Structure 1
Amino acid sequence: MRRPAPQNLEQIRHPGPRADNRTPFALCHATSCKIALPGKQPLLQEIGTWAETHEYTSAVLDLSETVLGAFSYVMPDCPVDDRHAAWYSDIHQCDGARLKEAVAIIGWKDGSWFAHLHAYWTNATSQCFGHLLPETLMLDAPFEGSGYGLKGARFEVAPDPETEFSLFRVKEDSTYPLPASPNALITTLAPFEDITEGVRHLCSAFVVPSAHVAGLGSLAGARFLDGPPMTGLISEILLRPGQCRVTDDTDRLVVRGIDLTGTHVQGTLAAGDAPTLITNELLLVSDTKIP
């Protein structure tokens, strides 16, 4: 039996000790890249092969327009125990779909390639948004996409004491030679860290005047500058590819997502009104080298 939905932030409590570092990061080099994958192959396997061929330690990819065969996915839901602040829904099945918008964080779990993937698609009668289970994903047609390949750091699944989830965490990685200076960083925001303010803090700390932002995660509600608010306080979101950028005088983080009520939301986040629920896994790519 699931616990009742939280009605305010005070009702969202994580079970473990509060992490001291709310914006952990690792510097890296991000290369804008193209990715072409054959059809009728497991998606995760093909992405891993592509990453190894190009000597990337992780990647953040725009998988919009990917055509998948039948797959499994989950959506945000209330917790099933007395410890976690949120949980996943029961597993849903899709007979196959063309993903209209999708973002994947490519990293490692137990020594093998792994992916955290949020996607939006439609069927004959409705909109769909979910956290896709990577081991179930099979390409149903050849795919060409884009994103960033990373060297110098990677996302790796590890236990998170604060939330008691196993999550992507950021780690330095010296597997491959790096350019002289990094041009990017990866971060995993801690619970309740406002996503816009977290990105702004990291840019300020590294004297980065402007940066492109990519990634995905979860929010405990949100207010938008150009649409109705997200009122369900358990959600899954993605940053809409190519639409997210911060500068000295402008913050534009445009997200799409779904909350535990099944309400689809999208829009430009209002700074200070989009707290992280569990984590937000982000890549910040600077227009210049990071000092």
Structure 2
Amino acid sequence: MRRIDHPGIPATERLHSAICRVEAFETVLEPGYSLIDSVALAVGRYGVSSAVMRLSGGCLDCFAYCMPALSKTSEHAVYFSETFRVQGRVLIETASVTYGVRDGQPWLHCHAVWLEPDGRRHSGHLLPDQVNVVKGIAATGRAIYGAEFVVTPDRETNFSLFMPTVTPSRSVLSQTKSFGNAAESHIVRLSPNTDVCLALENFCLEKGIIAATIQGGVGSTVGAVFDDGRIVEPFVTELLIRSGVICPDANGDLRARIDIAMVDYKGTVSEGVLARGQNPVLVTFELVVEPLDA
């Protein structure tokens, strides 16, 4: 399996998680706001500070994004490109969002696939305070109670990244909300060189989770190998999960099936199901594991 060597000290723990409860929601991100403000408005209705969601449809303008890139210094193993801007309305095909807290304020991490005014289909990392919602965007996701994604300095990668943090919700709503028989969910962050599928399968086994869905899903891998044999050779990528499940196969063994869209540093967009045991994390991977065995 390929790997990436970062300049910092790797943490012993390669999967960070926090127990939480989640509430499903479907909403529309309102136009007239920046992406971060529109998401904050939508999530704020649930009285929580963190959520994951997938987006589709709708339009953005003042569109700004960056790409995965090679690093020009020894401070980072990989980095971001310069900021690219698109004139006119951009149609969101699909996107995945991790919404949390940075310096005490709302922030989000979003990878998306979109169509530009000239018909070009592209993918990358949206700059949430530099893009505006101009036509309502459908959002389906999970509000998170009892834990948060908090931007935290990471010694291994020298980036500040969303990390799971156990914290009582600041909302009175969460103190009175009934979750019925719903099983506890987990917010998760995977570290570099951790295989995505195997790590999540092992995590479910350790937690006694019989089957689960993956909610959200924003991250990066060292290139990619798909289950149909296709290989993405450029090793610097960013991706989003389009759908993901972890469930028993015909032999009763837990298997993760993760369908993704990704862009590599050369600008090529690739899509498919990740092959087990062949897709190590590049920098980070954020998601929620929601059990189905309640």
Q: Structure 2 length as normaliser, TM-score?
A: 0.90
Q: Secondary structure at the match of 2:134?
A: coil
Q: Secondary structure at the match of 1:99?
A: strand
Q: Does the CA-based 8 Å contact 1:158-1:167 persist in structure 2? A: yes
Deviates more, 1:28-37 or 1:74-83: 28-37
One-letter identity of the residue aligned with 1:231 = E
1:55 maps onto 2:47 in alignment: yes
How far residue 79 of structure 1 moved from its aligned partner, in angstroms, is 0.3
Q: Secondary structure at the match of 2:135?
A: coil
Percent identity over the alignment is: 29
**Which residue of the other structure, out of 149, 155, 159, is the alignment partner of 2:153?**
159
Q: Does the CA-based 8 Å contact 1:64-1:103 persist in structure 2? A: no
Q: Does the CA-based 8 Å contact 1:255-1:267 persist in structure 2? A: yes
Q: Secondary structure at the match of 1:145?
A: strand
Q: Distance in 1 between matches of 2:225 and 2:29?
A: 37
One-letter identity of the residue aligned with 1:262 = G
Q: Distance in 1 between matches of 2:261 and 2:137?
A: 22
**Which residue of the other structure, out of 217, 228, 231, is the alignment partner of 2:230?**
228
1:14 maps onto 2:6 in alignment: yes
Q: Distance in 2 between matches of 1:109 and 1:65?
A: 27
One-letter identity of the residue aligned with 2:165 = K
**Which residue of the other structure, out of 258, 266, 272, is the alignment partner of 2:271?**
266
How far residue 83 of structure 1 moved from its aligned partner, in angstroms, is 2.5
Deviates more, 1:12-21 or 1:192-201: 12-21
1:108 maps onto 2:101 in alignment: yes
Q: What residue number does 1:68 align with?
A: 60
Q: Distance in 1 between matches of 2:137 and 2:69?
A: 31
One-letter identity of the residue aligned with 1:217 = G
Structure 2: stretches of 5+ with no match in the other structure: 250-254
Q: Distance in 2 between matches of 1:26 and 1:38?
A: 30
Q: Distance in 2 between matches of 1:196 and 1:185?
A: 16
Q: Distance in 2 between matches of 1:216 and 1:196?
A: 14
1:131 maps onto 2:136 in alignment: no
One-letter identity of the residue aligned with 1:229 = I
Q: Distance in 2 between matches of 1:65 and 1:184?
A: 28
1:90 maps onto 2:95 in alignment: no
Q: Distance in 2 between matches of 1:118 and 1:108?
A: 17
Q: What residue number does 1:185 align with?
A: 186
How far residue 233 of structure 1 moved from its aligned partner, in angstroms, is 0.6
**Where in structure 1 do 4 or more consecutive aligned residues deviate above 3 Å?**
178-182
- Count of residue pairs brought into register by the alignment: 279
Q: What do you get for the CA RMSD once the two structures are aligned?
A: 1.7
Q: Which has the higher strand share?
A: 2
How far residue 78 of structure 1 moved from its aligned partner, in angstroms, is 0.2
Note the alpha carbon deviations across 1:232-288, whole angstroms, 9 max, x for none: 111000001xx3101122321011001112221111111000000001011111113
1:247 maps onto 2:225 in alignment: no
How far residue 227 of structure 1 moved from its aligned partner, in angstroms, is 5.5
Q: What residue number does 2:262 align with?
A: 257
Q: Does the CA-based 8 Å contact 2:183-2:293 persist in structure 1? A: no
One-letter identity of the residue aligned with 2:283 = I
Q: Distance in 1 between matches of 2:20 and 2:58?
A: 27
Q: Distance in 2 between matches of 1:257 and 1:43?
A: 21
1:168 maps onto 2:162 in alignment: yes
Q: Does the CA-based 8 Å contact 1:30-1:148 persist in structure 2? A: yes
Q: Does the CA-based 8 Å contact 2:212-2:245 persist in structure 1? A: yes
One-letter identity of the residue aligned with 1:49 = L
Q: Distance in 2 between matches of 1:31 and 1:122?
A: 31
Q: Secondary structure at the match of 2:287?
A: strand
Q: What residue number does 2:252 align with?
A: none
How far residue 182 of structure 1 moved from its aligned partner, in angstroms, is 4.7
Q: Does the CA-based 8 Å contact 1:40-1:140 persist in structure 2? A: yes
Q: What residue number does 1:145 align with?
A: 139
How far residue 142 of structure 1 moved from its aligned partner, in angstroms, is 2.5
Structure 1: stretches of 5+ with no match in the other structure: 1-7
